[in-house]
A and B are shown apart, each in its own frame.
Chain A
Amino acid sequence: MTTTTAVPGAAAPARRGLGRYGRRLNEIGLLAAILLLYVVLGASASGFLSLDNQLGLLRNAATIGIAAWGVTLVIVAGEIDISIGPAVAFASVLVAKGAAEWNLGVAGAITLTLLLGVAWGALAGWLRARFNVPSFITTLGLWSVLGGLALYMTDALPVPLPESAVFDVLGGSVLGVPTSALVMLVLFAVFAYVARYTAYGRSVYAIGGNAAAARLAGLNVTRVRVVLFATTGLLAAVTGILLAARLGSGNGGAAAGLEFDVIAAVVIGGTALAGGRGSLLGTFLGVVFISVIANGLVLLGVNPFFQDVVRGLIIVAAVLVNVLVNSRSAANRLT
């Protein structure tokens, strides 16, 4: 107590101003990086700025973004969810099987998929909350189980979706904009609101900042943790349904490695892996950043294997800048 608090009144406003600036710096920097990418790719990659390409980019962003909204809150709460990729694949298989083979009808298949998504997520959250199994492990278990089930149930073959107007809309566009992108944007608004303006959202921040304090303040930490993972399960199911609708089939091998894109987007967006700090706006920019890079590398004709190398380097570099900015503003706050 004698170390951090020695500075009274006079210096405080200036420091706080810096701290505020620092907190936004992160998002401003990311926005600048995205604009830079647009300028560079607009000049060097033919077709990058075309409307078709931009809409396609948005559609791809949705695959990452929808799950990333939920994972942002998971990481803010000091947890992690690495099950997104296989969960999306399994959901796409479920909805296809349900509609095509189990005679549940389109609505029934979608409902079943969403409910199961909530259920497996809640299970992982409950194991975390009730028995203190680290969420890395519970979701690693999900990763393996769901990925295995998806391939086992389909023999790794695509399961075609039946003809349906619903799937056509889900996989297509509304007024020219890809449906999945619209879903992503609507859910973004919902999650940004939840994170900032609801007791649940604020509890997530409190728990991520200091779970013991949140518990003693009477917050229901167990329930929040279960809901967090039930949410990411649900969002993975939504993503899986949209993906199946777009591809016209459920595919046990779909979305491989998606979990890492999602986590990368969240962390690039400035959410601290240690919990307690992060924003949906940051994640939104992180999703755009990752999607633009992926799209640009394709347009530039970079070797697909080498694309992973470049993406990996850029992601680490982006997070490094982020951490440096954050530690500087933290230093401003604490001295």
Chain B
Amino acid sequence: MSSDTPSSPAPDPGTAPDPGTAPDAGTAPDAGAAANPGTIPAPTSAVVAATRGATKTYPGVRALDGVDFEVRAGEVRALLGRNGAGKSTLIRMLCGVETPDEGTVEIGGTPLAGGGVRRAAELGVGTVHQELSLVPQLSAAENLCLGAWPTAGGRIDHAAVRAGAREAFAELGVDIDPDTPVGELPLAQQQLVEIARALRSRPRLLILDEPTSALAAGEAEIVLSAVTRVAGRGVGVVYVSHRLDEIRRVADTVTVMRDGAVVETAPVRGATTARIVSLMLGRDEAEEARRPAGAVDRSGTPLLSVRDLAVPPKVDAVSFDLYPGEVLGLAGLMGSGRTEVLRALAGFAPSTGTVAVEGAPVARRTPRAMKRLGVGITPEDRKGEGVVPLLGVSENMVLTWFGGASTAATVRPSRVAAIGRGLVERLSIKTARPDTPIVNLSGGNQQKAVIGRWLHARSRILLLDEPTRGVDVEAKAQIYRIVRELADQGAAVVFVSSELEELPLVCDRVLTLRAGRLEQELTGDDITLDNIMTAAMAA
């Protein structure tokens, strides 16, 4: 993670020192100052939700270990932590999915006492899960009313459905047509429909689990301002996200979790990125992604040369050269045509213009032709288009080139396993075994395997579409490292990301794309977040 404006660590507000309850006092130097790391004194408003000493053990792992956590009315509380830190378990407890083995969960002062999801909802918990749970074919208004349709004389009152929706959207300060089928709305608006639905029952506590992970920066802004508005009405908000820039904009306080315990709760103002990251990782210095080293040698033939590439209707006239050893960032908002460029280059979308690999133009750009020339693509939708969930990690990697694991047309399971072991080690994929079904891995490790698939196929031109989406901080750093290593070994990488702040960390050169056209080229020290952001968004 990058650290933006450095500021001094936040002095913890006046709480009685009680080192006994402060976990990891050694690694988090000033955590000892917080009596109750999960709470922050804000006596002005009522506590809407709290856990006290909540502990949850699954077979073989303690998911939560005596967690004290409080959220007050009108507060936006960011919840941060790596995968497995206990965020999910804590959230599931607050919304009644899980019951603590020890300790209590209180909503609005009333103990949940194992009442389940229904009870939690009655007490005023609204939850928006990471995966959208809308029916795409139904209108936005109908989605809001799912399961609780207003009726008049035994029939559904469609006028009331529509009016209720208009009101709900107006409250969020957004303009969504209630009659549009949800599937036709942009992702950000779909997310807002989800939030509006969670707010219908007037919750005291709204839990948002990575509401913007699928959104580009500009779209996320709409969601963030809606969240601020919701909190302004006195709802307590728990906001889970990996995007620190967002947390800075939307949250008042941040709770960092690690290994099933709350490490620290602090005001967002004053908590530096470096400090938050080190709290999450449990190290004083976060693993710094390696800055691009030497200059790329651009004297030879480009590995990939693109001239006037057009993919109607989204992309027109994109041209660039890509040299061995180079990581080229492609920045742009969602809908700017990034994905279309990658798909066209890999042969999956019909396109016009010329594409040359090592100087030789490719006339018919079919997926097979491009693959043979060494082009590999990893999709942004890892679950939908990346992994084959039930197949093992190894098999997910060898499927780009079964020949590499075969002798005389027979796929050898022992070779598959050996190749899998090699890649698991090379890419530091965390998996119980190489043949574990890939669905059991975390997002970051799945992503590494999807990249590994193209290493197995000996690809030299890697097109990575949002390789760090929905991936935790540690895995992100590893992915940056892998990408740099591949480039150092002579591969050329196109790195697409809507998390613009990561581009300066990995890229030798950044092209910004806006509305299907290349907007600007940034190299060397010009690759800064400001420059990228300006080029991608500004008119």
Contact = CB atoms under 8 A, between A and B. Distances in A.
Q: Do A and B come from one complex?
A: yes
Interface of A: 1-16, 19, 196-199, 201-203, 205-206, 209-210, 212-220, 276-277, 333-335
Contact of A16 (B86, B403, B433): B433
B418 interface: no
A212 B442 CA distance: 20
B368 A5 contact: no
A265 to B, nearest CB: 22
B443 interface: yes
B411 A197 contact: yes
Contact of B402 (A3, A9, A202, A334): A202
A276 B438 CA distance: 13
Nearest to B412: A197
Interface centre among A5, A202, A217, A333 (most CB of B within 10 A): A217
Given A1-B83, A203-B399, A277-B390, 4 more contacts: A198-B410, A199-B402, A206-B399, A213-B385
A86 to B, nearest CB: 33
A4 B439 contact: yes
Interface stretch (B19-27, B58-66, B314-322): B58-66
Contacts of A219: 399
B164 interface: no
Interface centre among A11, A12, A16, A216 (most CB of B within 10 A): A216
B406 A209 contact: no
B240 A16 contact: no
Contact of B395 (A9, A202, A218): A202
B432 interface: yes
B363 to A, nearest CB: 19
Contacts of B377: 216
Contacts of B439: 4, 333-334
Interface residues of B, number: 58
Contact of B391 (A2, A198, A206): A206
Given A210-B385, A335-B58, A216 B442 contact: no
Interface in B399-453: 399-400, 402-403, 406, 409-413, 430, 432-433, 436-437, 439-444, 453
11 contacts: A2-B88, A3-B130, A6-B88, A6-B89, A13-B432, A14-B60, A16-B436, A196-B413, A206-B395, A209-B388, A210-B387
Interface centre among B89, B437, B457 (most CB of A within 10 A): B437
A11 B60 contact: yes
Nearest to B347: A218
A9 B391 CA distance: 20
B365 interface: no
Interface centre among A5, A15, A197, A333 (most CB of B within 10 A): A5
B130 A2 contact: yes
A251 B210 CA distance: 63
A188 B362 CA distance: 43
Contact of B389 (A8, A11, A13, A210): A210
B236 interface: no
Interface string B523-535: 0000000000000
Contacts of A199: 402-403, 406, 409, 411
A1 B388 contact: no
A276 B388 contact: yes
Contacts of B443: 1, 5
B379 A216 contact: yes
Contacts of B209: 2
B367 interface: yes
A217 B406 CA distance: 18
Given A11-B60, A206-B391, A216 B348 contact: yes
A2 B440 contact: no
Interface centre among B83, B368, B387 (most CB of A within 10 A): B83
A163 B389 CA distance: 54
Contacts, number: 136
A332 to B, nearest CB: 10
A283 B346 CA distance: 38
Interface string B222-243: 0000000000000000001000
Contacts of B406: 199
Give the interface SS of chain A, mostly helix, strand, loop or mixed.
helix
B150 interface: no
Given A10-B60, A217-B399, A5 B389 contact: no
Contacts of A220: 368
Contacts of A215: 348, 367
B371 interface: yes
B135 to A, nearest CB: 20
Contacts of A196: 411, 413
Nearest to A272: B390
B84 A209 contact: no
A2 B60 contact: no
B399 A2 contact: no
B87 interface: yes
Nearest to B88: A2
A194 to B, nearest CB: 10
B461 to A, nearest CB: 13
Contacts of A277: 390
A36 to B, nearest CB: 30
Given A199-B411, A218-B371, A5 B379 contact: no
A284 B87 CA distance: 46
Contacts of B436: 12, 16
Interface string B366-387: 0110010000011100001111
B470 interface: yes
B328 interface: no
B471 interface: yes
A10 B410 contact: no
Contacts of B453: 217
B411 A202 contact: yes
A198 B411 contact: yes
B240 A2 contact: yes
B433 A218 contact: no
Contacts of A12: 432, 436
Contacts of B385: 210, 212-213, 216
A127 B247 CA distance: 50
Contact of A1 (B130, B348, B371, B384): B130
A164 to B, nearest CB: 36
A112 B222 CA distance: 65
Contacts of B386: 213, 216
A202 B443 CA distance: 24
Given A206-B391, A333-B439, A1 B399 contact: no
Give me the 3 closest cross-chain CB pairs, A-B, nearest first: A11-B60, A199-B402, A1-B443
Given A209-B391, A214-B399, A334-B440, A8 B348 contact: no
A13 B389 CA distance: 19
Contacts of B472: 1
A212 B379 CA distance: 10
Interface in B79-94: 83-84, 86-89
A6 B410 contact: no
B399 A202 contact: yes
Contacts of B378: 216
A237 B384 CA distance: 37
B84 A6 contact: yes
A224 to B, nearest CB: 12
B390 A209 contact: yes
A11 to B, nearest CB: 3
